[in-house]
Structure 1
Amino acid sequence: MKNYEYEEKYIRAKKRVESIKGFHGHLTAYIIVNAFLLIFFYNVFEGKEEFWGIQGFSTVIFWGIGLAIHAFCVFAPDFFFGKKWEQKQIEKFMNEEKF
């Protein structure tokens, strides 16, 4: 039984590490791509007012929202339906099954 528990913990830890690694890859891509785009748009618009408009920052804003959602899913996965909620639901359904 203890070997099974260890394997289960290992699998959960490995999934957690993979999700954190995925987030860091996403964050790295966000920084590199948006830095390139901002430099590109700055040169295209030559520092004019158009650069400061929504077209210059739309990618940064909307991708940033997606990145924030990704961060929330990785670092706060138990915020809404955590392990305590899951355990309560399991106990509730097990009690309902009793005769």
Structure 2
Amino acid sequence: MPTPATSHSPAALDRLARRRVRAKLGWWSHATIYLLVNLGLLALSWYQGRHWAVFPALGWGLGLALHGLAVFWMQPGSTGMERLVALERARLQAQHPQG
């Protein structure tokens, strides 16, 4: 059974495209909420005369970065995923040469 990344049927390409667009829109939504909330926390900490807002921004920022890595680099069909698949395929072919 072919994977969506290697299938060339229009329906399979449409499913993959829709899945990738939904994931990217999800990341952009996450990034927008991150920015708005952390700007509010920054304003609150500035008003209090303290600098505690950096801690939630760093923690949540790590989560946002990992989400971005999964969406933009590790999704099926992305360059990062395809590069890793090609490397693994070459490694397996070197270990198990055909006849």
TM-score for the superposition, normalised by structure 1: 0.68
Q: Deviations over 1:14-63 (max 9, x none)?
A: 00000010000000001100000000011012xxxx42xxx331111011
Structure 1 stretches lacking a partner, 5+ long: 93-99
Q: Percent identity?
A: 24
Runs of 4+ in 1 over 4 A off after TM superposition: none
RCO comparison, higher one (Cα < 8 Å, 6+): 1
Partner AA of 1:29 in structure 2 = I
| Shift in CA distance, 84/27, structure 1 to aligned 2, threshold 3 Å | closer
1:28 aligns with 2:32: yes
8 Å Cα contact 2:38/2:53 also seen in 1:
no
The residue number in structure 1 matching 2:18 is 14
Structure with bigger helix share is 1
Alignment of 1:3-82 (within 5 A): 5-45=9-49, 50-51=50-51, 55-77=52-74, 79=80, 81-82=81-82
Structure 2 stretches lacking a partner, 5+ long: 1-7, 93-99
CA RMSD of aligned residues (A): 2.7
Aligned residues: 83
User: What is the rounded CA distance, in whole Å, between the counterparts of 1:7 and 1:64 in structure 2?
Assistant: 36
